Amino acid sequence: MITTILAFIVVLGITITIHEFGHFAMAKLLKIRVLVFSLGFGPKLVGFTRGGTEYRISPFPLGGYVKMAGETFDEDRKGDPGEFLSHPRWHRFLVAVAGPFMNILLAIAILTFSYIDGVYVPRYPKEPAVVGPVASGSIASRAGLQTGDRIVSVHGNPVNTWEDLEIALGTAPRNALHAEVLRDGRTIQLHFEPPADQREISSDTLGFKFPRSRTIVYEVDPDSPAHKAGLQQGDEILSVSGNGQTAANFNQVLNLISESRGVPLDFTVRRPEVVPPREKYWEESESRNSRVLHMTITPIEKEGHVHVGFYPDYPTDLHKLGLTAAISQSIRRNYEISALTFRIIGRIFKGSASVKTLSGPIEIARISGSAARTGSARVFFGFLGLVSLQLGVFNLLPIPILDGGVIALLLIEGVIRRDLSINLKEKIVQVGFVFLILLMGFVVFNDLSKIINFEKIF
């Protein structure tokens, strides 16, 4: 819990600080008087004043603000050149866009350094969406999905690769999960029926995997049955015995685990004396000095699924780029993620994606804690960059009270070549404020529903 809270504070603190600094720096550059630079909302906890600006930290960390002279309509404006509304529209546009721009710039910078240092890129996301093992009794099994099927669409959205598949599953409505698969040259329609309280839709939760032969452990959940038995990162599972069966390859291992809730299973694993770099797992795990170990693990039920507590690794490639190529690749990848975000938002409004896709501060805190507990700076900073990018993109949405709303109003005024009335602007801001409060309430409820089953309570 402490790790989660601290990681959440660090992630939000950095992304909010860089966002507000963008507004602050642009305002100062354009000689607009900045009265307050605040990290957090609410009354001041600590602060100091320098150069006519009060710098403060406030108790509610879900945002921050830069207060400029003459910024709002109800202020006693004097019309002096240092006031925000005294400046031309293009100045105000630059101030509004500077916050999201800094968030996007931070995301690009983090990913650029990641590409220079080297990024582990799984091979499977770009491979065709061919189904590997299907767990017995799973949602996928009941729907009729079989090993070797190639999924070509989900809820009408085309699927070419595993990356396409996971995006389509994650954004599809929970009550209308249809898929089209190719089997022996024939097209077959399948209908998946996840429980009404299903918190997440993915290949894992539906009960099928990417096809592989070997099983190498990438991560082990703390306090899980696998962790308590001594399973470690880098271990290769050679065989699993129990429940009257013996499994050797990846597909067999997962099927046996899924059928053995509460049944002790005997694991035989190969453990290298030195865990190789991740990109070398698949090439070097057999050649390095290693020892064979035996352990017993009893699968348990967790959130409706059989749970052992380890995540198998996928074959990866370590990609290292030079500075110019890293910047170019980072810009391209951040653009792809931003475009995907806007597409998902569009799907939500059209009804072809579930609103449960949206996440808020509680989910950010949970993932921040998970990223921190991996002990990997690469993972944590990668998540930090993603949050920064999403914050920048979200603030560009044309919602009144957000930066995007300010930008939209300025563009409208620029097109009609006159200012909108103060009364109209005030009403637009009020509507935007109510919408934002309702949206925040919804995403918080959505986050809580991933932790608490409200249907069982009510």
Q: What ranges do the domains of the chain cover?
A: 2-113+388-457, 120-209, 212-316
Q: Are 266 and 241 in contact (CB under 8 A)?
A: yes
Determine the residue type at 352. S
Let me know if the fold of 120-209 is the same as that of 212-316. yes
User: In CATH, which of 3.40.50.720, 3.40.50.920, 2.30.42.10, 3.40.50.300 is domain 212-316?
Assistant: 2.30.42.10
- The arithmetic mean of pLDDT across residues 51-70, rounded, is 88
pLDDT at 452: 62
Enclosing H/E stretch for 18:
helix 2-29
- The arithmetic mean of pLDDT across residues 297-323, rounded, is 81
- The arithmetic mean of pLDDT across residues 347-358, rounded, is 69
User: In CATH, which of 3.10.20.30, 2.30.42.10, 3.20.20.300, 3.30.70.870 is domain 120-209?
Assistant: 2.30.42.10
pLDDT at 223: 82
- The arithmetic mean of pLDDT across residues 48-57, rounded, is 92
Asked whether residue 386 carries a pLDDT value surpassing 50, the answer given is yes
Alpha carbon 326 to chain centroid, angstroms: 22
pLDDT at 283: 47
Distance spanning both ends of the chain, measured CA to CA: 27
Asked whether residue 198 carries a pLDDT value surpassing 80, the answer given is no
The DSSP annotation for 421-436 comes to PHHHHHHHHHHHHHHH
Distance CA 51, CA 431 (A): 35
Asked whether residue 455 carries a pLDDT value surpassing 60, the answer given is no
Exposure string for 139-152, b = 16+ CB within 10 A, e = fewer: bbbebbbeeebebb
Asked whether residue 176 carries a pLDDT value surpassing 70, the answer given is no
- The arithmetic mean of pLDDT across residues 44-68, rounded, is 89
Please write the tens of the pLDDT for every residue from 216-259: 888 888 888 999 999 988 888 888 998 888 887 777 787 788 88
Asked whether residue 392 carries a pLDDT value surpassing 90, the answer given is yes
pLDDT at 451: 64
Window from 253-262, 395-404, 409-418 with minimum mean pLDDT:
253-262
Window from 179-183, 338-342, 370-374, 387-391 with minimum mean pLDDT:
370-374
Percent of the chain with pLDDT over 70: 88
- Confidence label for 167 from pLDDT (cuts 50, 70 and 90): confident
**3-state percent breakdown (helix, strand, coil) of the chain, nearest 5:** 45, 20, 30
pLDDT at 213: 63
- Confidence label for 328 from pLDDT (cuts 50, 70 and 90): very high
Exposure string for 214-237, b = 16+ CB within 10 A, e = fewer: bbbbebbbeebbbbebebebbbbb
For the chain, what is the mean pLDDT? 83
For residue 138 the two structure tokens come to: 């799973």
Enclosing H/E stretch for 50:
strand 46-50
- Confidence label for 456 from pLDDT (cuts 50, 70 and 90): very low
- Confidence label for 429 from pLDDT (cuts 50, 70 and 90): confident
